[in-house]
Amino acid sequence: MEGLPDAAAFATKLKNTLIQYHSIEDDLWRVAKKMRDVTIWRKPSEEFNGYLFKAQGVIDDVVNSVMDHICPGPCRLDWDSLMTSLDILEHFEENCCVMRYTTAGQLWNIISPREFVDFSYTVDYQGGLLSCGRSLEWSEKRPEFVRGYNHPCGWFCVPLKDSAHQSLLTGYIQTDLRGMIPQSAVDTAMASTLINFYGDLRKALRKA
């Protein structure tokens, strides 16, 4: 398969990288943006010349329902305001695939629409689920999009200890948007995008 020699080994390495991010000490993170029900932190990425962002908030729904909305599939397009298309290019198992998706322009189109081709893997984690991904160097490109690149990223969703009908959703995102964009614009957009992600997800779950 193009860009991915061994799906099982790739998935295991990706999962372990996300678990490593999840154990980073609190004092190594700096708050980037804080709302009443979501906090975004950041720290310099070890993968590229940008930031690793951490997002966390409580969602008023059970783990499986939350993750059904986040994982690759048609449901994601229904609510995620940033995503404009999503296609599954290859399926390995029920929890493992390669997907191609596109995003809308941001910051009054200072950041133009982007395309990503990501490996996605979902696995059980401490009574909940971890859905993680990483971009692949896929040769087929569409000229109307700039190809972005997601370094290891993912979402941990676990039941809240004192409230089983609520979930704690924690995300780790480090996206290289590529193209001629000032890094400061990318950082501003990323924090706001993550806040909006939680808002869009909560609205979708209330409708479900």
Question: For residue 132, what pLDDT band results from cuts at 50, 70 and 90?
Answer: very high
Contact 101, 118 (CB under 8 A): yes
Is the confidence at residue 185, as pLDDT, over 90? no
Residue type, 140: E
Is the confidence at residue 200, as pLDDT, over 80? yes
**β-pairing verdict for 146-147 and 114-125:** parallel
Share of the chain above pLDDT 70, in %: 96
Q: Which helix (H) or strand (E) holds 173?
A: strand 163-173
Question: For residue 145, what pLDDT band results from cuts at 50, 70 and 90?
Answer: confident
**Across 47-61, 64-78, 102-116, 119-133, least confident range:** 102-116
Question: For residue 113, what pLDDT band results from cuts at 50, 70 and 90?
Answer: confident
DSSP 35-61: -SS-EEEEEE-SSSSSEEEEEEEEESS
Please give the Cα distance from 201 to 102 (Å, whole number). Answer: 18
Claim: this prediction has a pTM higher than 0.85: yes
Give the chain's domains with CATH numbers: 37-206 (3.30.530.20)
Q: Which residues of 121-146 are buried (b: 16+ CB within 10 A; e: fewer)?
A: bbbebeebbbbbbbbbebeeeeeebb
Question: For residue 55, what pLDDT band results from cuts at 50, 70 and 90?
Answer: very high
- Looking at mean pLDDT, say which of 84-88, 156-160, 176-180, 186-190 comes out highest: 156-160
Count of Cβ atoms closer than 10 Å to residue 13 Cβ:
12
pLDDT value at residue 1: 45
